[in-house]
Structure formats: C-alpha cells, structure tokens
Amino acid sequence: MVFPAGRVSFFQSEKQRVTDGQWNRLTAQLALKTQAPLLPVFISGQNSSTFYNLGRVYYRFRLLMLIRELLKIQKRSINLGAGNLLTPKLLNKFEKTDDINDIARLLCYLNDERFVTPWQDDAQSMQLKAIMQDVDKTNMTSELASLPSEQHLLDFKSYSVYYGYQDQIPNCVAEITRLREITFRTLNEGSGEPCDTDKFDATYMHLFIFDHKNEEIIGAYRIGQTDLLQKNSDVSALYLSQMFNFEPSFINQQQPCLEMGRSFIVQKHQGSYHGLLLLFKGIGAFMAQNPRYRTLYGTVSLSKLYDPRSVAIIDHAMVNNKQGVSANTPFNNKIHPEFEDFINDHTLNIDHVSTLVMGIEEDKKDIPILLKQYHKLGAQFHCMGIDSNFNHTPGLLLSVHLPSAPEKLLKLYLGDKKDGYINHL
C-alpha cells in the first residue's frame, strides 16, 4: 500500500475541506512501467479538530501533534473501501501519467462510504406478474406481408427491419410489448405487468427487427414523430413530457423531431453487434425516406443495476447543454467533492467516464453501449431525470442532429441516400 501524498491529510483553505495534498506520480509511473494493476483504496478516519486547526496556524504543529493523534486511536477499527482493479488495459487508454494519477486518486475518494448512497429498496420486483403468452407467429408474418413496401426498410441475412403503427400491426406490437417486459426485467426496469405497454404504443411508430428464419422479433425502438403528435405546441402527447419540462425553446417544439424510446435487443442477441447496427440503419433509412426529420432525441436508461455513484458521474460528466429543459423529478445524488476538483482540472472524455464507471461497478461493466453509440454520433446531453412511469429508472436526455454526425457514421447508417438527406432543404 502506497500513500502518494507522502503526508497526512490537512485542511486546505481553497477547497474548504480536509484532503490529501498533491500526489506524487511515482505510483502511476511504477504501474505503467511494470504493467501492474492499481487497486484504489479509501482508508476511513480523521484526526481531531485541534490537529487540523493548529496545522492551519503553522504546518509543523501537525508534526508535533501526530504521535498524540496516533495514540488516541489505538484499538479502534479502520474501514477500508475498495473498488475494482485498474488493469493495464484500462490504464493504457491514457497517454499522460498525470491522468492515471488523478483517476486513481479520484477512485480512492469515491470509495468513501460517507458518499455511497444505495438505491432505495424496490418492492416492485417481488410482485411481478406472469409474462403474457407469446403472439402467434403466423399472425405476425401475415401483418408484415401486408405492410406497404416503403415500410420494409432493409434486409441483412435472415433479418429485416420494418416500421409500422399499432393499427397496422397489432400482433407485432403486442409481441414487442411482451419482449420489452422480459428484457427490461433483466435490468430491474420492468413494469411488473404481463407486458410493457401504455397509451403511447397506439400513437407512436414501432421500428423493429424481424428474424424470418425463426419468425421472431429480436429488437425494437418506439419512435414519436413530434410534428404528427403535437397540436398547438401541446407536448402532452409526447411520452417524455411526463419526465421532462420542455420549454418552447427546446428542439422538439422548434422543428420536426423523432422522439426515441423503449429500445431493446432480446437477451440472446445482446452480445452481437448486428442487432444495434440494424436498428440504427433502420432509423437512418426512415430518416432518408422522411428528410424533414433532422434531429432525434430521447433518453438512455441507466439501469438501477448501476451504482448510483456511476449514474452521478455520468450526469456530472456528460451533461453539456441544459438549455430549454428540466427534469420533473431530478436525479439528486451527492458525489464526492474530489470529483468536482477532477472535472475542473480535466477536459473529460468518454475514456475518463468509462474508466471511472468500470472502477466502481462490482461486475466491472462499462457505460451503456447505447450511450457510447449516441456519443459517437455527436449527441448533446441535456438533463438527467427519473422516469416514475418506468420503475423510477434514471434516464439521460440527449439529442442528435443527424446531418452533423461524423461522415463515417452517416455513410454507415444512410448508405447511398446520405447526400440526398444532407442536402435536403
């Protein structure tokens, strides 16, 4: 165990708290040189107020008091709080030793139990109803065959991407709601009902992947076309109006947008890249057909399987445009003041956030892949809120102006329709 500050913590007037002095880079340099992992550990306890007050008068008084402070805490317990190992693979993401040093320091402080607040117990999971019977496959394939050709967006191997509305494909939508509930329950986000449905399923468009080989749906998005749903600027027809207060200046009241939500990939396809890729290609194909839609917005659900500290880090680190919107039920979770110091000293990037989350999560999971995907598209992140209609799950509101996305991704999702979409007036 190494104490990189090289001295006892002391009161720092510019920070108005007791904390470590500047860390020596030796530990980070050793880890890099030997390709050894680091384990950040927070050691509890503090000295007396007299010790800190005398240190504020003259720093050498702390040395005079140190033996007395040590004798006072004989036979007392000291709690150690540790997260995950910072592996060489994680550390090698950072070019500068100072970055590794600061990440390790922050993760030590994030293990301070005074700033660890668990999620409230969720009694809902004890009252889950049986999942509804799966929908007859013949009825679904019959509905797909009757859809207009333009609603069959693309094909890949045995998979096809379609979009439709509940009055066109009631059986397919019923199966989507069944699969949503199954998938969301694995993330502690389910409704607890036989299927995940509400009034918005009847008015929103459903974009989904159908596997013809097994005659089954493997993933879907629920999409609201704001120009069709809103009348006289009334946002109540939008699902996310239950979660956020949209001011007249927000994009969904300024131009036609697509409100994205209720996305899922069934569990057996979650380890495969093609599911998410097909959904995004389907969205691209729909927007190419309907080029009046330049912006999509929605939330990325941050499952309560994530530690609240991880959600707080994502909130503080990624929200970059708060104008025009606020959460009806804000996510309020205290975070260690060392994090504020960290973001003041660094221009945070996705690697910082990813490393911090993986350093906290017991199962070492990364940030949601959907969040990374939107980040690659150049998303603006607006607000974190709690969805009281979705098992009180925190969700991060974001928007993407698709014509401004990176060229490589536009080619991937729009194909040969890219130039026509971008140049649409």
Task: Yes or no: say if 284 and 166 are a contact pair by the CB < 8 Å rule.
Answer: no
Q: Is 209 left (phi over 0), alpha (psi -120 to 50) or beta?
A: beta
3-state class (DSSP) for residue 416:
helix
The domain segmentation of the chain, as residue ranges, is 10-115, 126-303+368-422
For the stretch 131-150, pLDDT in tens is: 999 999 999 999 999 999 99
- Return the pLDDT at 363: 92
Residue 352: CB atoms within 10 Å: 21
- Return the pLDDT at 126: 55
Residues contacting 199, CB < 8 A, separation 6+: none
What's the predicted TM-score (pTM) here? Answer: 0.89
H helix runs in 256-395, sequence order: 273-289, 308-318, 337-345, 350-360, 369-376
Average pLDDT over residues 198-212: 97
For the domain covering 126-303+368-422, report its CATH number: 3.40.630.30
Q: What percent of the chain has pLDDT over 70?
A: 98
For the stretch 81-139, pLDDT in tens is: 998 999 999 888 888 899 999 999 999 999 998 888 888 766 554 588 999 999 999 99
For the stretch 281-301, pLDDT in tens is: 999 999 999 999 999 999 999
For the stretch 295-339, pLDDT in tens is: 999 999 998 889 999 999 999 999 999 999 999 999 988 889 999
- Most confidently modeled range among 4-18, 160-174, 181-195: 160-174
